[in-house]
Structure 1
Amino acid sequence: MTKLFGTDGVRGTANVAPMTAEMALRIGAAVGRYFRRDGDSVHRVVIGKDTRLSGYMFENALTAGLTSTGMNVLLLGPVPTPAVGLLTRSMRADLGVMISASHNPAHDNGIKFFGPDGYKLSDAAEAEIENLVSQGVDPVPAGTIGRAKRIDDGRFRYVERVKSSFPRQMRLDGLKVVVDCANGASYRVAPEALWELGATVIPVGTSPNGHNINEGCGSMHPQTAAEAVVAHGADVGICLDGDADRVILLDEQGRVGNGDQFMGLMAARWASEGRLKNNALVATVMSNLGLERFLQGHGVALERTSVGDRYVVERMRQGDFNLGGEQSGHIVMTDYATTGDGLMAGLQFLAELVQSGKRASEVLHVFDPVPQLLKNVRFAAGQAPLEVDSVQAAISEAEGQLNGNGRLLIRKSGTEPLIRVMAESEDEAVLNASVEHVVSAVEAVVAQ
């Protein structure tokens, strides 16, 4: 069987292997058996989803698989990914499941898992579950089949938890906020939380129809929210992705501030207040060299990990760090949550605006990024372009072009069939040439 788990659970095109109802049922049975190995005590699992049409199919298939192994299922309906992490722990569940393909188009979907502590499963746990999927799992006797129940107040519990991360006694009165929910899982909770804290809310991307998640909106397409910020004279824009675990921020002029800028802002602030554990920020190899230099200037170390918020969280837990994230907008603050939470990060930025009395444009840009170029090359199933000699040679030549005055990062995406080619350099001519050289070599192999 082809490897199921990527960097963030199982993901692919809905109704195409491995993202079929049959496979979801098998995965549900396997993960149910994994978490119910003692076979005696009562076990429960919470399941959330985003707004994709295929979410209904996968919710039903997973429920069937899980209940067939005796797991009791609590169905949350559409909620953000961080809500599943939160409610898994607060409802004393053994397992949390989120049905979402995050920032991907509506035709994709995915399944990701949280353990009883609210953190995503380790590679080792996923490998065991994948082995159970391959072997098959025997169902429990008819008398011990699990039950399924709808939980109607999940989103309200999450809203209250998010609001509790906002400074006590502080309100957002007088702030006009555009919030783009990407027609995704946060389409109700994000506007509600902001309004309850006193903001004037201008909602964008809050009309999901099963097909329009991430379509021309959200963190992947912030221009829609940027236009709304300018048109309404808003103070700030908050752009979430389909499952609301990442955020891209906009200043009052509609200009984008990515995860690196936000992490730099918060790391410097927390370090000055003595709140930054072990005086370090955890980010991935994709974070800009400018962020690293900015942190050095504030006496803060940068711990780099592989790409994927789960690897950021693993390093944070290993080293007892409390702030980390990704350039793409996953922001993890373990003082408040067990996974990336776009809405919670947005509220922390709004708190910074209120405390400083400054405009978003004065707060959001904390360092000048080193020019960075990223290009993607799509490849077909069965191809392995990075293993071809001509591509390896092109990578070596590109590294020679940079000649120690920048960074080159080539990697295979863990969520899509893409080769990602990224470079950084102050010399933009060399930057463009090095990336194009590798991209051309990969494209030539893929076209064969």
Structure 2
Amino acid sequence: MTADPLADAEITSLMLKHPKGFDLALTRIRRLLAALGDPQNRLPPVLHIAGTNGKGSTIAFARAILEAGCAAVHVHTSPHLVSWRERYRLGRKGETGQFVEDEVLAAAIRQAVAANGDEPITVFEILTSVTFLLFSQHPADAVLLEVGLGGRFDATNVIDHPAVSVVSSISLDHQAYLGDRVELIAAEKAGIFKPGVPAVIGHQPSDDAREVLRTNAERTGVPPQIFGEDFIAYQEHGRFVYQDQRGLLDLTLPAMIGRHQLSNAALAIAALRAGGFDPSDSAIEAGVVNANWPGRMQRIGRGRLFDLAVAGSELWLDGGHNPGAGIVVAEAIAEMEDRIQRPLFLIAGMLNTKEPIGFFEAFAGMARHVFTVPITSSDAGMSPDELADAALDAGLEAEPCDSVEEAIRLISTGWQSEPAPRILICGSLYLVGDVLKQSDIAPV
């Protein structure tokens, strides 16, 4: 797998000098951006999206739709799975956008570091300023900008006049920063709404979260467009049906797995229309079919870990790591079991900032066994013993393991019956990234 020596060296240096965590405020990044000539004010039209779950998939749909219409699209997402370059995709007119090249990213980091000098700042703030530098230096038709954490004080929220502000599904996550109730989290996410800027709100499992978002959007003077009220999506006769005030679209089902992807695709369509991007019906059709988002219900069909599994097994990855993500992933697995009923085994790793019991509860009655593993790429990983206890508390059978490799071996030796097992590796994007590296599969 290709290394990125120049950018990796610059980011390693950043992490040694500046704190890696979040310190939610906008004063530091505004100061740095001013020193860089305010590149955030020289961007193509911006779709700015916050939310707990579904941000990445919604961006993937929006990007695929715009590119199907031959638009050049810059994309910022976080975190990455394998390479830091994944956070910065540069659009190309009439072509698929590509991750920024190593030397280009390294040069932008050096420029931001030099402009910051010795002033206090976080790593995420510097890397966000790099986003604006890169996107202002390369022409494009649109920017898809994902919030890192929260919304109101996230470093991306220096965009004063986006084309559209979007909030995807909200559930409990990052409670230490955002609050321990969905209403509090929703209020933070709603901080990206701006006066005069269209606001689009995706499917909300919580009525309380939806009403907080509605109220905050209305305070900006712009009535929001809300999933289930102003636009809807559903599956009918093997088709994806989208409907809003413009009428009905009868579309091919998304390639991305899970019924929740219908609402993510609908959010992308509604947001692009509200933001004035005006994709054609044919571009929407092509984008919905072709959209792809690595690490979310991604099937692995090759590599060392796949080869360890008993013949005929299915190996899946999903980086969802909160109760809301657990629910939609479990629902996606249940839909698969309607077709082929395979025994389900979970291999889970999670950061110690997450709430694992709520995540595991979604799989009660489905998973035969949970093997918990360490996350080697983060020093904030929950111990396998503690994570196994959480799975037990959620009503699942569980035991700790030393690695994903060991867990797959245990599953393969312990299950020799037909049909072969379905193995879901889940609980953390860090874990997903580790598996992709071991499988020599890089996002593209």
Normalization by structure 1: what TM-score? 0.29
Normalization by structure 2: what TM-score? 0.29
